[in-house]
Structure 1
Amino acid sequence: MSTSTAIRPTGTSPATAPARLDMYVGIHKALRHFMMDTLHRVGRMDPADATDLARTLGQFEDLMALCVNHIHHENDFVHAAIEARQPRGSSRTADDHVEHFEHIDALRAEARALARSEPAERPVQALRLYRHLALFVADNFQHMNVEETANNATLWAHYGDAELMDLHHRILASLPPAETLEVMRWMIPASSPAERAQILGGMKAGAPAAAFQAVLDAVRPHLDDSAWGQLARAIGVAQQPGLADFR
């Protein structure tokens, strides 16, 4: 199973530069997708509808939990790898991570207050949560770009692609099944057709059949029939119509 993509470093000639392994592509597409969908849902939420409020805040909490896990994975694996060969090489994004933990705690507190609030207070509190979540998303988008440029440059300078693939596999092996399914649910719809085929084709070849089927079941409802058919043909699975919700 692979969720990485080979790309060319910025500033090199495509005719001469070898493609390098980029571990950030897939997971960052998943996070951007999850963040934008959740921001959109918080913004359009009806705070007077208890069901809509609970469903939206449930997705919000799922996003916060995945963000916390993602920070830990980057600290424990990617930053550790950078620091092993370039001390202080990950300091900028490591400092960002400290701030992200604090921001997540503050957002969770706002969400809990909204859930407990009186109906008359909810519109104001919902709008405040929406605006603060938007700032968190904006900050994370900038942060991810630093990782995809500066951190990748450091990794590429000190590690070969075989070493980076081993690191990538160790990260994947550390994920519990539920987290893997959630990441795939957001990653696959956000990826290009070629990336989808690469990710799921690699998983089909290397993962247990039951685990692979669980991932297919998780992503199918979020691909329209055209996208599902293209993917099914690419990875050699049955082309039954998907259940599209176009998210």
Structure 2
Amino acid sequence: MSKIDLYRNVHMGQRARLFTLAIELGAADITQSGAAAEQADRCLAMTQELRQHADHEDTFIHQLLRERAPEAADALDAEHIRLDAAFGALDERARALPDTPIEALPDAQHALYLALNEMISAYLAHLHVEETVAMPALWQYAGEEELRAVFTAFRSSRTPEQGLDDLRKMLPALPPASREAIVRGLVNADPDQAGHTLTTVSTTLSPGQRIRLYEDLGVPEVWALQGD
């Protein structure tokens, strides 16, 4: 039985969406009407989400970490200071982009692109510390039931729609076996809503991922669509 990992799946989803944002910002036609505001809003939404994620970790994971492995918790605190600076620099660039004169937009777009990638670089280093320092410390000093309780407490803090949104962000980045295990747990928890659940959580999957999920679950896709 695999160990409970408090970071793995959500971090995979974050990496995928950060990389996608960087690629799409770099390739965007910023001269199109509304494009500057759209790209700025996407960057601001991402930093807001990552700040909220850090708050969730601090509330539900890092309190236990501070109790059991304070040195690992100190390492994360230092990372947060560096991340806050990167978030702030990106936000400043993003807020300025929509008001940039059209002739200066290409340079402003590239400056935002660089700020985004600088933030991503800092964030990837932060994820690495959580995955290679914090999680091993928790495995060493906290019991399985305590780690399971962290998961339970976080899930209980989310509304049903927030929980589904979390999954829609995460599932496309996971390997098929992990995706199937998560969705099977949801379906088994409420069999009467199985079709609706499948349809809802699979909206962000590619067609191939969606077909594979239904095959792994042993249900026809047309059955799942009946939940619409």
- TM (normalized to structure 2)? 0.87
Matched, 1:104 2:63: no
Equivalent residue letter for 2:215 = R
CA displacement, residues 181-220 of structure 1 (integer Å, 9 cap, x when unaligned): 4432221110000010111112223369669836743533
Q: Percent of aligned pairs with the same residue?
A: 23
Give the deviation of 1:56 after TM superposition: 2.7
Q: How does 1:115-194 map to 2 (within 5 A)?
A: 115-194=98-177
Separation in structure 2 between the aligned mates of residue 120 and residue 239 of structure 1, nearest angstrom? 49
| Cα gap change, 1:228 to 1:215, in 2 (>3 Å) | closer
Structure 1 unaligned spans of 5+: 1-5, 7-18, 243-247
Matched residue, 1:28: 11
| Cα gap change, 1:93 to 1:113, in 2 (>3 Å) | same
Match of 1:222 among 205, 216, 219: 205
Say which is worse superposed, 25-34 or 166-175, in terms of deviation: 166-175
Separation in structure 1 between the aligned mates of residue 195 and residue 62 of structure 2, nearest angstrom? 29
| Cα gap change, 1:36 to 1:154, in 2 (>3 Å) | same
Separation in structure 2 between the aligned mates of residue 212 and residue 102 of structure 1, nearest angstrom? 44
Equivalent residue letter for 2:105 = R
Give the deviation of 1:69 after TM superposition: 0.8
Match of 2:76 among 93, 96, 107: 93
How many residue pairs are counted as aligned between the two chains?
Answer: 224
Separation in structure 2 between the aligned mates of residue 214 and residue 114 of structure 1, nearest angstrom? 39
Separation in structure 2 between the aligned mates of residue 212 and residue 69 of structure 1, nearest angstrom? 31
Separation in structure 1 between the aligned mates of residue 157 and residue 97 of structure 2, nearest angstrom? 34
Find the residue that maps to 1:50 and give its secondary structure: coil
| Cα gap change, 1:232 to 1:66, in 2 (>3 Å) | same
Separation in structure 1 between the aligned mates of residue 210 and residue 223 of structure 2, nearest angstrom? 7
Find the residue that maps to 1:23 and give its secondary structure: coil
Separation in structure 2 between the aligned mates of residue 87 and residue 170 of structure 1, nearest angstrom? 21
Are the equivalent residues in 2 in contact too, given 1:188–1:196 (CA < 8 A)?
A: yes
| Cα gap change, 1:221 to 1:75, in 2 (>3 Å) | closer
